[in-house]
Every structure is written in structure tokens, then in C-alpha cells.
């Protein structure tokens, strides 16, 4: 009897989003290379070619419904109505109400509950809470990316512990490869960078704690004569509030805001920098911490939650609310060569254990669990395993 393939439906409508888009893209790439499943992928209108570039053999269905809209509760189930998928994977907290499939959901964190965006209305927060509870109740299995996020889902939303699996994010193997000196020199010249670089990879959101980073850098410059530049990469405006504050502190020529960069440039920046600063107040995982460690870059990160979980034994852990502790950490890690070597070695060892290939393998295990669990109950529609 020929081996059987799992027919997987994957909601990839967030493929181009910041953060979660990396996760979705790596899943597509990894599942395309697996001989255990075949893919039917939901994509935003106009993004079909992007999906096909990562998973050429996938069947792609365009869905026009906006995210977090009432329309997606109708249009997603309609798109899947005639698709005999065994398991549907939704990599965010909204599983449409009328979806009748065995469902695996990935909930990365509950940041929006603790630190809602400024423009988020009370109605939107009520919707978040309602959908989170509904999704956790209806999902066959739940994936999250850290023990911290698992604990939050159980304690805050009453998720069933037996359904929640921790599957950490991974890191691209290319991140460990140091670019040629000419590439790094060209990058520094193009972006106007002067070594040593203290790198921050983040969007300008409250939980990223970027004001504290700037204050700590200023204190380190004043008290320790810290050299170099503080470099913000990501969604931080070069003419925004942080830039105005840097100028007021007399740091206009010491702080650079380079905006969003390509993956190639980001990998190069990890190798061009001297330290990564990631002192957020809350994270579900903290992917820049892992990427920096893979590149051999010493990391200063927060001593709370998922960042402590990821950085323990490899990063310099600091209180994200203590400006002096962060400042002292910068001064020590930047100049203490034996400490830097120990951090680099420990970080690389940790990063080697967390690959996207391993993430995909463990995710496939969760799909199999969901299929076995659902087949036993005989609910949620069709479960048809098809031969290769």
C-alpha cells in the first residue's frame, strides 16, 4: 500500500506582514520540501505569485476578505468548501467561525492585550478577546512559540494545557555566514554607519521599550564615554519622536534610523554590529535575539518572559525598566573581550538548536496529532488521506 500524504490547508494571508510573515514564509518553504503533505494555500488577492515562489507545487486560493473583518468568517470557509483538506493551519488567532475542519492554530503571543496599539478601539479589543477564546476552544491543537506564551494562553484565556504545544521559531542558516569585508564596508558607507554599532531591530511600539534604549545609550555615553553609534532598524521614523529626542539629548550624530532593510542587509548588519540591544517589556519569542546569536553577535536583552527564556546562559540579561543597568550592560559587553567571546560561543550553540527545519518538523508532528485526535472523534467534516 503506498504511503499516504496529509492534505494540509495553510492560511498564508499574512505572508507579507512584518514578523508573522517570516514564520508563514518559512513554513511554506519547509512544507514544500516535505514528502509528508501536499498543500492548499489561502493567499491575499494579488499575492498568489509570492506564495508560488515559496511553494511551487501548492494549490493557491485567493481570498479577498480583509483581516479581522466579518467577511473573512464567510469567505475563508467558502474558499475551502470543496477542498478536501485534512487539517487547516491558521497561523494567527482568528479562525473563522464557520470553518469546519480539524484546525491547528498558531498564537505567537498576547502582546496586543497587554500593549494595544494606540489606534485600537475598545470594540477591537473585545473582538480580540472573544476570538482568542473561541479559537482556543475550537482548535484541535494550538502551537505557540515559547513557554511564556503557553503560560499566558493557559492563565489568561483558559486554554486546555493538553492541546497547547511549544514549537519555537527558527533562524535562517545564511544568518551565520559572515559577508565579505567589502560587503560590510559598502553597507556602512551606504547607511552612514560608524563602528562600533549598537544595533536595535524593532518597530516603534510601546512594548519594544525604545525610549529606554535611547535613555540608556545617552547615560552610557555620559558616564562611560561609550563610543560608536546606536542604530535603529525597522519601523522607526528618521524624523519621528525618537529622532527628536535624540537631537534634544545631543545625540543627533550618534543615533541612526535606517528604516526597514532587506533580509540581506539585515544579516549583514548583524555581522557589522558590536552588540544587539533588545530590551523589550514583553515578547512572545524575540526573533532578533536568536538571529543575532546565530550571527555571532553578543546580545543584551530583558530578564523577563520569553527573552529570558531564549537568552538564558548566552545573553546579558537586564531589567528593562532600569536605565542604569542597561547602560552598564552596554559598557561592559562592548569592551570586555573575554565576556564577548563567551557570549558569542554560547549564543551560537543555542542558535544551532533552533532551525526553521526543526520548526517545520515539529509542526508536522502537531498536524499528525490533530489528525489522529480528530479521526478519533469523527467531527469537523472530512478527513481524507490521499495517496501520493
pLDDT tens digits, residue range 9-38? 999 998 988 778 899 999 999 999 888 899
Residue 382 has pLDDT above 80, yes or no: no
C-alpha cell recorded at residue 309: 527564556
d(CA 9, CA 88): 4
CATH assignment, 4-170+355-387: 3.40.50.2000
Say yes or no: do domains 4-170+355-387 and 174-352 share a fold: yes
CATH class, domain 174-352, is alpha beta
At residue 346 the predicted structure's pLDDT band, cuts being 50, 70 and 90, is very high
pLDDT digits (tens, 9 = 90+) for 288-335: 999 999 999 999 999 999 999 999 999 999 999 999 999 999 999 999
Q: In the chain, where are the structural domains located?
A: 4-170+355-387, 174-352
Give the per-residue pLDDT at 68: 67
pLDDT digits (tens, 9 = 90+) for 35-58: 889 999 999 888 999 999 999 999
Give the per-residue pLDDT at 2: 47
pLDDT digits (tens, 9 = 90+) for 219-236: 999 999 999 999 999 989
pTM: 0.89
Amino acid at each position: 500500500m503506498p504511503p499516504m500524504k496529509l492534505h494540509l490547508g495553510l492560511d498564508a494571508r499574512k505572508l507579507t506582514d512584518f514578523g508573522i510573515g517570516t514564520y508563514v514564509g518559512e513554513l511554506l518553504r519547509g512544507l514544500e520540501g516535505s514528502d509528508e503533505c501536499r498543500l492548499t494555500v489561502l493567499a491575499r488577492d494579488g499575492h498568489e505569485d509570492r506564495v508560488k515562489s515559496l511553494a511551487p507545487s501548492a494549490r493557491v486560493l485567493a481570498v479577498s476578505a480583509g483581516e479581522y473583518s466579518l467577511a473573512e468568517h464567510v469567505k475563508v470557509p467558502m474558499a475551502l468548501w470543496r477542498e478536501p483538506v485534512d487539517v487547516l493551519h491558521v497561523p494567527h488567532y482568528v479562525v473563522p467561525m464557520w470553518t469546519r475542519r480539524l484546525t491547528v492554530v498558531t498564537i505567537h503571543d498576547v502582546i496586543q492585550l497587554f500593549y494595544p496599539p494606540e489606534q485600537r478601539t475598545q470594540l477591537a479589543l473585545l473582538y480580540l478577546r472573544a476570538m482568542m477564546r473561541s479559537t482556543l476552544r475550537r482548535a484541535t491543537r494550538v502551537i505557540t512559540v515559547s513557554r511564556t506564551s503557553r503560560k499566558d494562553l493557559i492563565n489568561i484565556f483558559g486554554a486546555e494545557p493538553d492541546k497547547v504545544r511549544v514549537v519555537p521559531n527558527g533562524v535562517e542558516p545564511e544568518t551565520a555566514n559572515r559577508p565579505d569585508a567589502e560587503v560590510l564596508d559598502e553597507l556602512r558607507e551606504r547607511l552612514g554607519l560608524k563602528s562600533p554599532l549598537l544595533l536595535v531591530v524593532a518597530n516603534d511600539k510601546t512594548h519594544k521599550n525604545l525610549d529606554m534604549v535611547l535613555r540608556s545609550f545617552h547615560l552610557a555615553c555620559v558616564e562611560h564615554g561609550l563610543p560608536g553609534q546606536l542604530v535603529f532598524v525597522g519601523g522607526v521614523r528618521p524624523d519621528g519622536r525618537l529622532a527628536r529626542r535624540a537631537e534634544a539629548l545631543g545625540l543627533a550624530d550618534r543615533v541612526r534610523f535606517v528604516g526597514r532593510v532587506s533580509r540581506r542587509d539585515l544579516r549583514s548588519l548583524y555581522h557589522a554590529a558590536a552588540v544587539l540591544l533588545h530590551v523589550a517589556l514583553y515578547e512572545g519569542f524575540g526573533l532578533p535575539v536568536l538571529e543575532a546569536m546565530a550571527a555571532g553577535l553578543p546580545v543584551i536583552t530583558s530578564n523577563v518572559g520569553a527573552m529570558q527564556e531564549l537568552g538564558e546562559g548566552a545573553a546579558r540579561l537586564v531589567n528593562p525598566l532600569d536605565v542604569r543597568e542597561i547602560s552598564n550592560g552596554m559598557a561592559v559587553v562592548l569592551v570586555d573581550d573575554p565576556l564577548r567571546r563567551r557570549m558569542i560561543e554560547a549564543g551560537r550553540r543555542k542558535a544551532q538548536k533552533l532551525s526553521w527545519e526543526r520548526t517545520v518538523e515539529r509542526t508536522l508532528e502537531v498536524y499528525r496529532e490533530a489528525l489522529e485526535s480528530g479521526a478519533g472523534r469523527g467531527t469537523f467534516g472530512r478527513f481524507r488521506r490521499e495517496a501520493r
